[in-house]
Amino acid sequence: MSLAPWRSPLSHALERNRSSPESCYFQLATIRPDGTPANRTVVFRGFLDETNQLKIVTDARSQKVKQISALPHGEVCWYFPITREQFRLQGPLTLVDSYTPNRALQQARCREWQQLSDSTRRQFSWPDPAAPCGDRDDFSPPVLDTTQPLPQFCLILLNPITVDWLELRSEPHNRWFYQLNGDRTWSQQAINP
Ligand SMILES: Cc1cc2nc3c(=O)[nH]c(=O)nc-3n(C[C@H](O)[C@H](O)[C@H](O)COP(=O)(O)O)c2cc1C
């Protein structure tokens, strides 16, 4: 797949905001089964191979995984403080967990595990997230296999179908809307901020 037209401004934003460590975090919104929104900060782990899909890693026991399993759709909201730009990327989410049969996706999940720092890998061995806090010894570091992910380690992929890019630096502000068409081409349009 060719690179979507929004990839170029997003790459520039990442490049120009390199000195701000927060620019590799964004908010991922999902939908609870009762229709209410759920939102949280996650780390941007790059794009899946040659696709336009954003990678996120998480724990299978987290609420977001339950939400995505029931309703696989989400939106990322990403603010770049140095250049004062916001990207909102919306589309279907793919959950890659230990049961995913697709070989290429399973390999991508393993690669992601291998690239984590030891301290991040260890977080996946912690007791159930959001359960009442018990014995602090339950958090003591185990010896982990750096090649094979723990079963609770998941890769999430966001495949954007619309992207809304807002630039606050100019007066008036600039805003562009990108949309994936039925024939897999992208259309783009400057819109009012
Ligand atoms: C800076 C920052 C980065 C985070 N990165 C991740 C991440 O990459 N993946 C993740 O699952 N949670 C991450 N978290 C924790 C989530 O924000 C959230 O608390 C957790 O995933 C539970 O969310 P849930 O109950 O909605 O599933 C991060 C939190 C912060 C503050």
User: pTM above 0.95?
Assistant: yes
Flag whether 2 is in a domain: no
Is position 159 within any domain? yes
Q: pLDDT of 138-166, one tens digit each?
A: 787 778 889 999 999 999 999 999 999 99
Atom of ligand 1 nearest to the CA of 45: 8
* Gap between the Cα atoms of 165 and 178, Å rounded: 8
- 63 ligand 1 Cβ < 6 A: yes
Establish if 135 belongs to a structural domain: no
Domain CATH code at residue 11: 2.30.110.10
The answer to whether the CB of 120 is under 6 A from ligand 1 is: no
1 within domain boundaries? no
Q: Is 55 in the pocket of ligand 1 (CB under 6 A)?
A: no
Mean pLDDT of the chain: 95
Whether 36 is in a domain gets the answer yes
- Are 192 and 176 in contact by the 8 Å Cβ rule? The answer is no
Is the pLDDT at 2 greater than 90? The verdict is no
Indicate the number of domains in the chain: 1
Query: Is residue 133 in a domain?
Result: no
Q: Which domain holds residue 168?
A: 7-128+140-190
Ligand 1 pocket member 40 (CB < 6 A): yes
Domain membership flag for residue 134: no
Which ligand 1 atom sits nearest the alpha carbon of residue 38? 26
In sequence order, what are the beta bridge partners of 30? 38
